[in-house]
């Protein structure tokens, strides 16, 4: 090996390192599989008597995985500026454990034949509301813009009434300004319409915001 070319020695060393790393990874997978197999329940009846599909803390997960979790619980709190951090942040499954470290027994969890005997109405409501938690973002994405648009509309209606219709004869007297004006200078066009509404609704000269030469 000492007289072999340098590239051959390098390739041999890399192959050895790769086999070593792969062997360690495989050994880790085998150990995890052995632990899972040892802790897995035997086939057969899940339990004697009525089967309750959820545990007392469902659907919460371990704080090591998500930090504090539940209704109004999280890693941060809104109500304290001096000590807002209340727990760890999200930690990925390959750090804290995934399928090989289960929180529920899937056979018992998906066995719902006795759910009406073992679960109370409050637990049904709790599970239903927890399913709606992802809905908050979608409601916010719709309610936010709608609220802003309605607020702005309400504000504009309080400031001055809009002119929805214009007499045909009045419109054709100055067609170019009404039709093309907004494309050339939308600020001056807006001021022109403000002046028109002020004279139409009878408050011309009474609004200090409309005073100034650029409004005429």
CA gap 16, 22 in Å, rounded? 10
Are 197 and 160 contacting, i.e. CB atoms less than 8 angstroms apart? yes
Are 94 and 28 contacting, i.e. CB atoms less than 8 angstroms apart? no
Long-range contacts of 186-195 (CB under 8 A, 24+ apart): 188/214, 191/215, 193/163, 194/160
pLDDT recorded at residue 141: 95
Given a cut of 70, is residue 19 above it in pLDDT? no
Instruction: Identify the H or E element spanning 131.
Output: helix 121-131
The stretch 200-206 carries a mean pLDDT of: 81
The stretch 115-141 carries a mean pLDDT of: 90
Q: Assign 36 a pLDDT band (cuts: 50, 70, 90).
A: low
The stretch 151-165 carries a mean pLDDT of: 77
Give the residue, 144 or 77, on which the prediction is more confident.
Answer: 144
Worst-scoring range by mean pLDDT, 49-63, 93-107, 122-136, 191-205? 93-107
CA gap 3, 72 in Å, rounded? 70
pLDDT recorded at residue 125: 93
Residue-level length of the chain? 216
pLDDT recorded at residue 121: 93
pLDDT recorded at residue 1: 46
């Amino acid at each position: 090996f000492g007289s072999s070319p340098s590239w051959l020695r390098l390739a041999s060393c890399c192959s050895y390192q790769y086999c070593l790393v792969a062997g360690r990874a495989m050994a880790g997978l085998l150990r995890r599989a052995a632990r899972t197999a040892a802790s897995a329940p035997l086939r057969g009846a899940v339990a004697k008597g009525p089967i309750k599909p959820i545990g007392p803390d469902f659907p919460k997960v371990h704080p090591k995985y998500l930090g504090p979790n539940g209704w109004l619980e999280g890693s941060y709190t809104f109500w304290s500026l001096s000590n807002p951090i209340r727990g760890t942040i999200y930690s990925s499954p390959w750090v804290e454990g995934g399928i090989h470290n289960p929180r529920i027994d899937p056979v018992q969890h998906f066995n719902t034949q006795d759910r009406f005997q073992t679960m109370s109405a409050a637990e049904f409501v709790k599970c239903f509301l927890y399913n709606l938690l992802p809905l908050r973002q979608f409601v916010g994405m719709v309610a936010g813009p709608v609220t802003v648009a309605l607020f702005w509309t309400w504000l504009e209606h309080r400031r001055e009434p809009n002119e929805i219709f214009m007499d045909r004869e009045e419109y054709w007297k100055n067609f170019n300004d009404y039709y093309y004006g907004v494309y050339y200078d939308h600020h001056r066009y807006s001021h022109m319409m403000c002046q028109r509404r002020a004279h139409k609704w009878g408050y011309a000269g009474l609004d200090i915001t409309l005073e100034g030469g650029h409004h005429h």
